[in-house]
């Protein structure tokens, strides 16, 4: 498509967009009395209007039924999480038995590493990307420290970072594969963010997973920026495990519950260690209070505690919306709005006495709903100008602005108007 940097063209694209109506399903903050242009769905998604009804239902059941709500509410609490299995499996490309919801993201990654990081004196290394999200870095460090006393392994030796080449912003696939081959028999685990939080780079998860397995390692994925954002086929890619938060592209509310995936091939492996809890016990015998743990056959068997229903209600509202739209339609819109944003950025760059660099890959297969822009000659004052003029975006030191147009609630007109505000901010 040949884009145009005009309001009329942007409005024309909105008229043709079958998902444009969903913008009215969300509540937008206001700045100076006007609805904001919201580009931080990669940090916290907007609140869907339907969320309130889901939460109110739980609150009413609690008020009217109290403890009996576990079994007699319209959506009984004791199996509330099971309503996620089918819609979440479609979002991440899994079998319904391979997904569950529980805890929060880093908690789930720690619990999954109990099962899938089993270091020995000869096979103990973890491969991750350079400058992984800090929470992942801290997790790797603490997991290695936990095992180091028994095995004598050193932190600086155990964690292997795949680095960007000098002068480049993104990690090359061939460098990932080369590092996996180099570490070889010493590699215990590959655990990478499916979408890099800083640059927005999307990794080739299928190819990396196969390479990790070829040398005998487990392979897992942190999908914080990927779930609800990109096309995932976790089952077919043969990933061992994955976890994701629900509050970014899936709009479930701040700090809300995490989803996780455990491949079917591991469900019946009694030798695989896990931290057990009552809610992961055989559902049909759970209330017999048996002494010996008998895990549910599936991802639910990794659950520990009963679920926070008030947290799950907004998440269920969101996945129901995803289910009615479908990932294919979301990705089609995502590709269009991200490409239009890229076009607008380049057009504005031509018009102003400044320059900025998009450090997110230009190849549509290597990016999703995020463009990270490195500002040359501009600083924090430009970010402040955008925020003061109703563009909610994200600043990362030293001088990167992350822009995440979300197909559910970003319009083409939003992107055009952003370009005009950006231009005014640079010229001010």
Distance of CA 230 to the CA centre of its chain: 9
- Domain 75-325 fold: 3.40.640
Residues 225, 248: contact at Cβ < 8 Å? Answer: yes
pLDDT for 274: 94
Spatial neighbors of 148 by CB under 8 A, at least 6 apart, are: 154, 155, 158
pLDDT for 259: 97
Residue spans per domain, the chain: 7-49+326-427, 75-325
Measure the CA–CA gap between 274 and 353, rounded to whole angstroms: 58
Residues 54, 313: contact at Cβ < 8 Å? Answer: yes
pLDDT for 170: 96
**Dihedral sign of CA atoms 92, 95, 101, 107 in order:** negative
- In tens digits, the chain (428 residues) has pLDDT values of 899 999 999 999 999 999 999 999 999 999 999 999 999 999 999 999 999 999 999 999 999 999 999 999 999 999 999 999 999 999 999 999 999 999 999 999 999 999 999 999 999 999 999 988 889 999 999 999 998 887 888 888 999 999 999 999 999 999 999 999 999 999 999 999 999 999 999 999 999 999 999 999 999 999 999 999 999 999 999 999 999 999 999 999 999 999 999 999 999 998 899 999 999 999 889 888 999 999 999 999 999 999 999 999 999 999 999 999 999 999 999 999 999 999 999 999 999 877 789 999 999 999 999 999 998 877 788 999 999 999 999 998 888 999 999 999 999 999 999 999 999 998 88
Please spell the DSSP secondary structure of 19-78, one letter per residue. TGGGGGGEEPPEETTEE-EE-BTTTSPPEETTHHHHHHHHHHHHHHHGGGHHHHSSS-GG
Q: Any long-range contacts for 244-247 (C-beta under 8 Å, 24+ apart)? A: 244/92, 244/105, 245/104, 245/105, 246/101, 246/315, 246/318, 247/44, 247/45
Residues 241, 262: contact at Cβ < 8 Å? Answer: yes
Spatial neighbors of 63 by CB under 8 A, at least 6 apart, are: none
- Domain 7-49+326-427 fold: 3.90.1150
Closest CA to 258 of 302, 320, 198: 302
pTM comes to 0.95
pLDDT for 152: 80
Q: How far is CA 191 from CA 68, 246, 333, in A?
A: 42, 19, 29
Beta-carbon count within 10 A of 193 CB = 21
Residues 80, 70: contact at Cβ < 8 Å? Answer: no
pLDDT for 352: 87
pLDDT for 22: 97
């Amino acid at each position: 498509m040949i884009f145009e940097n005009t309001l009329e063209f942007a409005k024309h694209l909105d008229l043709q967009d079958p998902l444009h109506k969903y913008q009215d399903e969300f509540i937008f903050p206001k700045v100076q009395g006007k609805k904001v242009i919201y580009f931080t769905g990669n940090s916290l998604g907007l609140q869907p209007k339907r969320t309130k009804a889901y939460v109110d239902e739980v609150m009413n059941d609690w008020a009217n039924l109290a403890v009996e709500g576990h079994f007699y509410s319209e959506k009984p609490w004791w199996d509330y999480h099971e309503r996620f299995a089918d819609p979440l499996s479609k979002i991440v490309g899994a079998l319904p038995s391979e997904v569950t919801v529980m805890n929060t993201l880093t908690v789930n990654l720690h619990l999954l590493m109990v099962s899938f990081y089993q270091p020995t004196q000869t096979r103990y290394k973890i491969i991750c990307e350079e400058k992984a999200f800090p929470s992942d870095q801290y997790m790797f460090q603490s997991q290695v420290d936990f095992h180091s006393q028994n095995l004598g392994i050193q932190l600086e030796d155990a964690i292997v970072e795949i680095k960007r080449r000098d002068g480049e912003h993104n990690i090359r696939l061939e460098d990932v594969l080369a590092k996996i081959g180099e570490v070889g028999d010493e590699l215990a685990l590959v655990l990478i963010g499916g979408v890099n939080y800083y640059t927005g780079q999307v990794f080739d998860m299928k190819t990396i997973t196969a390479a990790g397995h070829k040398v005998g390692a487990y392979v897992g994925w942190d999908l914080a920026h990927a779930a609800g954002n990109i096309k995932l086929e976790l089952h077919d890619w043969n990933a061992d495990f994955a976890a994701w938060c629900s509050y970014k592209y899936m709009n479930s509310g701040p700090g809300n519950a995490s989803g996780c995936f455990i491949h079917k091939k591991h469900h019946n492996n009694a030798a695989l260690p896990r931290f057990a809890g009552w809610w992961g016990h055989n559902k049909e015998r759970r209330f017999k209070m048996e002494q010996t743990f008998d895990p549910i056959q599936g991802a639910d068997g990794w659950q520990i505690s009963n679920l926070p229903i008030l947290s799950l209600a907004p998440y269920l509202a969101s996945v129901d919306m995803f289910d009615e739209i479908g990932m294919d339609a979301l990705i089609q819109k995502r590709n269009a709005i991200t490409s239009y944003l890229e076009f607008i950025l380049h057009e504005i760059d031509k018009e102003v006495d400044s320059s900025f660099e998009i450090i997110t890959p230009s190849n549509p297969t290597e990016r999703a709903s995020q463009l990270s822009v490195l500002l040359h000659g501009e600083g924090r004052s430009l970010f402040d100008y955008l925020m003061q003029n109703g563009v909610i975006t994200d600043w990362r030191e030293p001088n990167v602005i992350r822009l995440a147009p979300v197909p559910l609630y970003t319009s083409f007109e939003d992107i055009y108007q952003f370009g005009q505000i950006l231009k005014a901010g640079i010229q001010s």
